């Protein structure tokens, strides 16, 4: 069956569909010996010979679904031009090529999904899939009730007003406090920008929940396989 090349690369665990588009336009993919650079080009993964950098691609026979506690100081891209560590460096015993579902920025820690199931990854990452993402945020100083209310109601950022969020004060001390923020959007550095917009300084940011999945007892750098039940719930589109 003919499918778009970026979809074939994604399902083969090569990269996300967006990254696959960049790979194609860079002239790294060939179909039956012919380099293809045009997005939207199609091929049949079963009958056509598809190569990446001259090497045949293959569909991953084993699907992997991993929940990783991403530490601070790791990139969620597949490679970094500055040579910084990437999250897949932590997966020492995973032979399959997996890639992150969504992203956490360099200074953010916490729950990150990785898989080589391209169809599921694309569905989860699509803007229409409004999955709840829960964060614990350490703030320098105190957060006033009005600031928390502002976060809850929505914040006007340079890329538009954010959707209402679930916000609560977790604990506080003389020098800082922890707040819980749950959003369902996936904008770049959204939680940090929301806090900055209402005058709060983020000291630490941790994603503790993704839909019904929680970080649990994992420590930074540790990961586990999702259970078959968890995978089924994701595939069925369960979001909470």
Per annotation, catalytic residue among 53, 89, 93, 105: 105
Contacts 24+ apart (CB under 8 A), 25-31: 28/52, 28/53, 29/5, 30/54, 31/5
Helix axes 228-235, 118-125, angle to 10 degrees: 60
> Where are the alpha helices (H) located in 4-144, listed in sequence order?
5-11, 17-25, 118-125
Distance (Å, whole) CA 3 – CA 61: 19
Query: What is the SS3 string spanning 169-189?
Result: EEEECCCEEEEEEEECCCCCC
Contact 65, 34 (CB under 8 A): no
DSSP 8-state class, residue 89: G
> What is the number of other CB atoms lying within 10 angstroms of the CB of residue 178?
18
Quote the CA–CA distance of 203 and 70 in Å, as a whole number.
Answer: 17
Element (H, E) at 100: strand 99-100
* Catalytic-residue membership of 132: no
DSSP secondary structure, 114-149, as one string? EES-HHHHHHHHSTT----EEEEEEEES---HHHHH
Q: Which residues are catalytic?
A: 105
């Amino acid at each position: 069956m003919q499918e778009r090349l970026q979809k074939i690369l994604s399902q083969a665990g090569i990269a996300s569909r967006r990254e696959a588009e960049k790979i194609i336009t860079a002239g790294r993919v060939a179909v039956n010996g012919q380099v293809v650079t045009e997005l939207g080009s199609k091929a049949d993964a079963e009958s056509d010979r598809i190569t990446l950098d001259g090497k045949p691609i293959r569909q991953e026979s084993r699907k992997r679904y991993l929940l990783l506690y991403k530490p601070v100081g790791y990139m969620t891209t597949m490679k970094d031009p500055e040579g910084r560590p990437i999250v897949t460096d932590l997966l020492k015993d995973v032979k399959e090529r997996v890639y992150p579902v969504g992203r956490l920025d360099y200074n953010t820690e916490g729950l990150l999904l990785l898989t080589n199931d391209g169809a599921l990854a694309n569905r989860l990452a699509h803007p229409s899939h409004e999955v709840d993402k829960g964060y614990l945020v350490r703030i320098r100083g105190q957060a006033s009730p009005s600031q928390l209310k502002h976060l809850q109601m929505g914040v006007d950022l340079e890329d538009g007003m954010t959707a209402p969020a679930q916000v609560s004060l977790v604990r506080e001390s003389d020098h800082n406090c922890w707040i819980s923020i749950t959003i369902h959007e996936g904008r770049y550095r959204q939680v940090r920008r929301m806090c900055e917009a209402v005058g709060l300084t983020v000291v630490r940011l941790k994603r503790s929940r993704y839909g019904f999945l929680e970080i649990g007892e994992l420590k930074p750098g540790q990961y586990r396989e999702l259970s078959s039940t968890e995978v089924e719930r994701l595939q069925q589109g369960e979001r909470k």
